[in-house]
Chain A
Amino acid sequence: MPAVTATLALVIFAAGAVSGSLGALLGLGGGVFLVPFLNLVLGFPFTVAAAISLTTVIATSSSVSAGRAGQQLINMKLGMLLEVATAAGSFLGGITAQLIAQSILQKLFGFVAALVALIMLTRLRRRNVILDPSVDPGVLGGRFYERESGGMVAYRVKRLPVAIAASFVAGNVSSLLGIGGGIIKVPVLNAWCGVPLRAAAATSAFMIGVTATAGATIYYGRGQLEPALAAAAVLGVQFGSWGGMRFGAAASAKWLKVLMAGLLFILSAMMFMRGGR
């Protein structure tokens, strides 16, 4: 466990702020940037890095969802149904992470980071919305106000087993690697399950708090979570995501995504090289 100094806390706060603002700009949690920084740059053991990152995921989920509650963008019923699968996946991942070698975790991270980059470059943008809000969306569907359409829109959830399977995998990857897992759920919900992108992202952000809690609790109980460093990271991420959301409107989403995809490919290669040793 690394010793806590003011310098280290400041460095982690700054890293959290950068991850948080990148995450907010891209609609990700930011863990995908924070874990490699803590593991590769600061040399923390992978499990210690993942534990710190998971606490920032919980904080991000809670604060983002608190702000959105009441806007009907979060599909609570779908979220709570899929949480059964993500929490189970996360629980198993938290135990598995204790049993497998750091080099395997690093290779797995490298693989997932490359996948995230590919998804980002080829992001499917299906809208899935039904413009007539009086349509019955079913038990799991929803409706929300969509600015692009200028009114209430509805959607129905399709292929629920696919959504459940993706949620289980996302939960597993989340606690193994210390990321939120939204990067797996959001594209699946959007591309195959009929959920509009904004609703999928909001619902995923709502769910990752529960997902990350199942994993983080196991790391915390194991003594792999240093509270002072987690505090610095959590406060940094909250500061950064607040800034990222303000700046986000001005940035060009397309170039930002290309830039991030490039960065993720580099992170992926670094993790593979480190894991291969």
Chain B
Amino acid sequence: MNADRGNDAASPLERVIGFVLRAGVMLSSVCLTVGLVLALTSGEVGIAGILLHAGIIVLLATPVARVVVSIVQYTSQRDWAFAALTTIVLIELMASAAVALVFNKRL
């Protein structure tokens, strides 16, 4: 049983995390590339601004999504200790977002 712990227990989680990270990087890179090119070439701020902010938000959301899928995976494996630890990490990330909203004054 111990010999399997490294392989079998970790694999589904590693696979889903790999997928989430890859999807996040690709989506944010596309938004940022198109947004930057539009902002620099057309000087048109509307759609370019939306794409750039979307790219940044997807970038920031990718590690959060990775934490969320970890919580789901550990909970479904009934690994309560790690489900609790990853939940604390999520709460800490939410706290940063809450502070960011409170601090939200443009310089």
Contacts and interface: CB of A to CB of B under 8 A. Distances in A.
Contact of B18 (A1, A66, A227): A66
Contacts of A83: 67, 86, 89
Contacts of B106: 223
B96 A214 contact: yes
Nearest to B24: A62
A72 B6 contact: yes
Interface range, B side? 35 or more
Interface of B is mostly: helix
A69 interface: yes
Interface string B3-32: 101110011011101100110110011001
Nearest to A10: B40
Interface in A48-81: 55, 58-59, 61-63, 65-66, 69-70, 72, 74, 76-77, 80-81
Nearest to B49: A227
B86 A70 contact: no
A221 B107 contact: no
Interface in B55-77: 55-56, 59-60, 62-64, 66-67, 70
A87 B97 CA distance: 12
A90 B105 CA distance: 21
A76 B17 contact: yes
A contact face: mostly helix, strand, loop, or mixed: helix
A228 B31 CA distance: 11
B103 A55 contact: no
A222 B93 contact: no
A77 B101 contact: no
A142 interface: yes
Interface of A: 1, 4, 6, 9, 55, 58-59, 61-63, 65-66, 69-70, 72, 74, 76-77, 80-81, 83-84, 87-88, 90-91, 94-95, 98, 133-134, 136-137, 142-143, 154, 209-210, 212-218, 220-225, 227-228, 230-232, 234-235, 238
Given A87-B89, A221-B103, A235-B32, 11 more contacts: A1-B107, A4-B39, A62-B24, A69-B18, A154-B6, A209-B62, A217-B97, A221-B97, A223-B107, A228-B36, A231-B36
9 contacts: A66-B18, A69-B17, A76-B10, A80-B82, A213-B60, A216-B60, A220-B100, A234-B32, A238-B29
